[in-house]
């Protein structure tokens, strides 16, 4: 079960790297659809700057999670993964309240599932 747990956590990391790609490199119409925003707004320089800034945070979070899996083990890794999954859940709740409820399901739910697996099955 530990391998499955780490696999689920890695999927959460890869999801955030994918989100970063959308935020930083996708065309505005794809970004608008993905993030429930108007295309006219997403095409503005300010929105593109904000999306790129948010994208680098998501991308680096994904990379950080993967690096933690590679460089730590045991109780240290468990603690780190619990904290990172909780972080994602809190951010997803905030995003659901302030932006779109879909964030809660697309980002928060996978992190919650991974958190449950880390707490239950990672030793």
Burial class (CB in 10 A: 0-12, 13-18, 19+), 98: exposed
pLDDT of residue 52: 98
Can you give the pLDDT of all 123 residues of the chain as single tens digits?
999 999 999 999 999 999 999 999 999 999 999 999 999 999 999 999 999 999 999 999 999 999 999 999 999 999 999 999 999 999 999 999 999 999 999 999 999 999 999 999 999
**CA 74, CA 30: separation in Å to the nearest integer?**
40
The pTM of this model reads: 0.95
Report CA torsion sign: 95, 106, 54, 69.
positive
């Amino acid at each position: 079960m530990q391998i499955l747990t780490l696999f689920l956590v890695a999927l959460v990391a890869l999801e955030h790297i994918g989100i970063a790609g959308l935020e930083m490199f996708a065309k505005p119409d794809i970004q608008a659809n993905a993030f429930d925003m108007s295309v006219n707004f997403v095409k503005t320089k300010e929105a593109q700057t904000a999306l790129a800034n948010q994208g680098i945070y998501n991308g680096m979070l994904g990379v950080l999670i993967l690096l933690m899996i590679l460089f730590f083990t045991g109780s240290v890794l468990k603690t780190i993964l619990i904290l990172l999954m909780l972080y994602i859940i809190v951010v997803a709740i905030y995003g659901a309240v302030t932006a779109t409820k879909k964030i809660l399901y697309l980002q928060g739910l996978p992190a919650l599932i991974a958190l449950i697996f880390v707490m239950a099955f990672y030793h």
